[in-house]
Structure 1
Amino acid sequence: MRFINHPLWLVGFRPFFALACLAGMSLPVAWALIFSGLMPAPAATFTAVQWHAHEMFFGFGWAVLGGFLLTSTKNWVNIRGYHGPALMLLAGTWILERIGMSFGGNWPAPLPAIANNLFLGSIVAMLLWTLIRHRARDSYRDNVFFLVLLPAFLVAKYLMLYGNNFPAGYSMAIGLFRLALLVMLERTLTGFMKAAFQANILRQPKLDMPIKLLGLLLVVEFAVPRPLTAAIAFALAILLGIRFVFWKPQLACKRIDIGIMYVGYLAIVGQLLIEALGHVWQFVWIGSLSVHLFTFGAMGTVIPAMIIRISKGHTGRKVVFDRLDKLALYIMLAALVVRVVVPQIYPAGYLLWIQLSAACWLACFGILGWRYIPILFQARLDGKEH
C-alpha cells in the first residue's frame, strides 16, 4: 500500500516525465551509436530506421504527451484523474514496450505485438473514456480534436510498424504531434504571456479554428494528392505566421523560458513551408530536414520547457527558470542548429553532427532528470495532495 500511495503515482506527469527524461537521454544516443556502426541494431522485426522513428515518437514523444494529457484532462473536466495502480499499469506497459521494441524480435508470437501495443492502446482508451464520459463539463469545447487525434495515433503506429507503409506512418505521426502542439501552444502561451508581461495575445476563433482544421487535414496528407497537400500546408503556414505577428514575439524573446516556445512555433511554420515546397519542387536537403526541423525544432525545444514548468508548478514550487534550467534550454537550441542547420552548410560532417546533437539531448535531459526526477518522487511542497 505504501508503494501504491507513493507521490510518484499521484498524477500522470510524475511517472511519465521521469520516463521522458530517461528516454530523452538514452534514445538519441542509442540511435547515434547504431547509425555510426558502434552498436548493433535492436533485435526486432523492424528496420533500424523504423525503430528510431517509433521510439522517438511513441517512446519519448508519448511519454511526454501521455504525462501531459493524463494531467490536463483531469483538470479540463474537473475530476481526480488516474492515479495509483492505473498509473503503475501504464508506466509498466510503457517500459514493456521499450523492451519489446528492442529485444522482441526473437520472442514467440504474439508476445511482441502485445508488448508493442499494450501501452498506447491502454492510455488512448483511458484518455478517451475521461473526455467522453465527462464531456458535459469539459472546459474546452475544442477537445473534440483529441477525440479524433487519440485513436488516430493507433493508426499511425500500425502504418509505421505493420502496415508496410512506413512513410505514411511517420508522416501521420508528425501531423498528430503537430496538431497536439498547436492546441497546447494556443492554450498555454495565452496564460504565459499574461503572467510574464501582462500582455494579451490574439485569440480569434475565426483564425484559431481554421488553423486546427487545416492541421487535422494534414494528419492524412499521405492520402491526399500532392498539389492539394502543398496548398493546405502553405495555407496553414501563412495563418500561423499571421497569428505569430500578433502574439508579440518581441516580448516573448526577452525570456528564454517563453521565447523557446516561440522558436518551437516557428519551427512548425518552417516545417510546413518545407513540406509545401517539397510537394511542388524537388529540393536536395541533407538529413531529412523536414522531419528533424519538427522533432528538434518543435518537440525538442517546447518539451524541455514544458517539463520544467509543469514539474515545478504542479509540485507546489515557484515556476522560475534558474541558470541550470536555462542551460538545458540553450543546449536544445544548440542541438537544433547542429542537427538541422549545420548539415546543410557542411554535409561532409553529417555523422559528427548526428553524434553531437545526440550528445546535446543527453546533456539536456540529463540535467532535467538529475534535477526533476527527485522532485517527481516527492510530495508537493504546498501540502496539496496532487
Structure 2
Amino acid sequence: MAQPNALLAYPFRPFFILTGLYAMVVVLAWVGFLFGGWPLPLGWSPLQWHSHEMIYGFVTAATAGFLLTAMCNWTGAPPLQGKGLLALVLLWLAGRLAFWFAGWLPGWLVAVVDLAFLPVLAIYAARVLLRYGNKRNLILVAVLAALTVGNLLMHVGFTGGGMQWLKLGQGLGLDIITLMIVVIAGRITPAFTANWLRGQGGPAEQVVKSTKVTGLAMASVVLLAVLALLPLPAWCEALAALFAGGINALRLYQWRGWLAWREPLLWILHLAYGWVVIALLLRGVSGFYPALPETLWQHSLALGGIGTLILGVMSRVAVGHTGRPMQLQPYGRLMYWAVIAATVLRLLAANQWIDYRIGVTLSALGWILAFSLFVVLYAPMLSQPRADNRPG
C-alpha cells in the first residue's frame, strides 16, 4: 500500500498547523475589527463570533489533532490518514469558512456546516475506542458530545436572537474544555514529569498521582458545569468554582512541577494547569465580588490555561511523533514567553490596571507572535516525513 503524503500521515500534522494558523488569524481579525474598523461579514454579534471561533474553531482543531493521535497510542489502532483525514480537515475548514461569511449565508446553512465537525469526530473516536476495547477513554467522546451541545446553543442564540443562549453555549464550551484539560493534562503532565525525573536520576517518586484527588478534581468541574446551567443564586456557582480551584491546586502541587524547572517542555504544562486553577479561583471570587470583571477569569482560562497548554502539547507532540529528540526548538522559549506575556497583559487590561486599548493590542501581538513562532518552527517538520524514516 502506498504511503500517504507526510502531511496526511497522522492527524496531528495538519490539525496542529491549522491550529497555529487559525490562532493568529482569528485574533488579528478581532483586534482589527475592534480598533482598526475592519469590515467583517460576520452576521453575529462580534463578541460572540470571537468567542465562538476561539472555543469551537481554534480549540476543536487542536483537540482533533491530539485526540486522534493519542487514540493510536491508547489502542494500537492505525491512524486516520490519507483521504479520510483530508475529509475531516476539510469539514473543519468548511465550518470556519461558513463563519467568516456568516453575514452572507442563511443561518441554517452556517449551523449545519459548522455543527457537523464535532459529531463526526466523536463518532469516529467512539468506533475506534469500542472496537479496540478502550472504554476508559470514552469520557472524551462524552466531552465531544457536550461540546456539540454548547455549539448548538450558540447557534440557537444566533438564529433566535437570544443572548442567553449565546452565553450558555459559550459558558458550557469553556466548562467542557476545562474538564478536558483536567482529564488530559492530568494524565500526561505527572507521567511526563516522573519519566523525565527518572531519566535524570531525580526523585520521580515525589510526583504523586492520587486517585482520590483526581476523582474529586474531575467531579468538581462537572459539578461546576452543571450548576452554571441552572437558574441558581450566584453564590452556588461561586462556591463550586472555589472548591474546583482548591482541589485542582492540590492536584497541581502533588505533581511537583518545580522539580522540572530545567525542562521547558514540562514546566509549560504545569504553568498551563496553574492558569486553570487561577481561573477557577477568580471565577469563585467574582461570584461574591461582582465588581471583579468576568473577563478576568475567562481570559485566565482562555489565554493562560487553554492557549498555553495547546502550545505546550503541540510543541512536544510535534517532535516526539516525528522521530526527533524530545527537546524544545530554538526560539521555542520565546514562543512560551510570548503567550505568557499575552495572558498577563490581557488580565491587566481586563482589570483596568493598564489602558484597555493598549493592553488588548499588546496582548494580541504576544499571542500572534507565539503561534506564528509555532508555525515557523514546527510546520516544516509536521509536513515532512519522520526524521527516523519510520511510518507516520
> What TM-score does the superposition give when structure 2 sets the normalisation length?
0.91
In structure 2, what is the Cα distance between the partners aligned to 1:202 and 1:160? 39
- Contact preservation (8 Å) 1:311, 1:376: yes
Are residues 1:194 and 2:194 paired?
A: yes
Once the two structures are TM-superposed, the CA of residue 345 in structure 1 deviates from its matched residue by: 5.4
**Displacement after TM superposition at 1:19 (Å):** 0.3
Deviation of the 1:330 alpha carbon: 0.9
Change (3 A) 1:196 1:341: farther
Contact 2:335 2:370 in 1 (8 A): yes
Instruction: Note closer, same or farther for the CA distance 1:183–1:129 as it changes in structure 2 (3 Å cut).
Output: same
* Equivalence for 2:149: 155
Displacement of 1:192 after TM fit? 1.8
Which of 368, 381, 385 aligns to 2:387? It is: 381
Normalising by the residue count of structure 1, what TM-score does the alignment of the two structures yield? 0.92
Given residue 209 of structure 1, which amino acid in structure 2 is its aligned partner?
G
Distance in structure 1 (CA, Å) of the matches to 2:85 and 2:10: 8
Q: 2:304 aligns with which of 286, 297, 305?
A: 297
Q: 1:243 to 1:35 in 2, by over 3 A?
A: same
Q: 1:81 to 1:221 in 2, by over 3 A?
A: farther
1:310 is matched with which residue?
A: 317
Q: 1:110 to 1:282 in 2, by over 3 A?
A: closer
Q: Are 2:369 and 1:363 aligned?
A: yes
The within-5 A match list for 1:147-186 is 147-163=141-157, 164=162, 165-186=165-186
Contact in 1 for aligned 2:6/2:384 (Cα 8 Å)? yes
- Amino acid paired to 1:279: G
Quick check: 2:118–2:145 contact (8 Å CA) kept in 1?
Answer: no
Q: Counterparts of 1:201-280 in structure 2 under 5 Å?
A: 201-224=207-230, 225=232, 226-280=234-288
Code of the residue aligned with 1:168 in structure 2: it is: L
Deviation, structure 1 residue 37: 4.0
For residue 118 of structure 1, report the CA deviation from its aligned partner.
2.3
Secondary structure, aligned partner of 1:288 = helix
**Take 2:266 and 2:337, find their aligned partners in 1: how far apart are those partners?**
12
Q: Post-superposition shift, 1:233? A: 1.6
SS of structure 2 residue aligned to 1:36: helix
Q: Tell me, in whole angstroms, the C-alpha distance in 1 between the residues paired with 2:310 and 2:295.
A: 21
TM-superposed CA distance for 1:313, in Å, is 0.4
Query: How far, CA to CA, are the matches of 1:185 and 1:352 in structure 2?
Result: 33
Q: Which has the higher contact order (CA 8 A, sep 6+)?
A: 1
Q: Against the structure 1 CA distance between its residues 132 and 214, is the aligned structure 2 distance closer, same or farther, given a 3 Å change threshold?
A: farther
Q: Which moved more, 1:232-241 or 1:149-158?
A: 232-241
Gaps of 5+ in 2: 199-203
Task: Specify the alignment match of 1:20 in structure 2.
Answer: 19
Counterpart of 2:50, as a letter, is H
Aligned-residue offset at 1:29: 1.1
Deviation of the 1:109 alpha carbon? 6.1
1:326-365 superposed Cα distances (whole Å, 9 cap, x missing partner):
1111111111111113553534x11111111111122111
Residue 341 in 1 paired to residue 341 in 2?
no
Q: Which residue of 2 aligns with 1:323?
A: 330
> How many angstroms apart in 2 are the aligned matches of 1:147 and 1:98?
22
After superposition, the CA RMSD in angstroms is 2.0
Aligned residues: 378
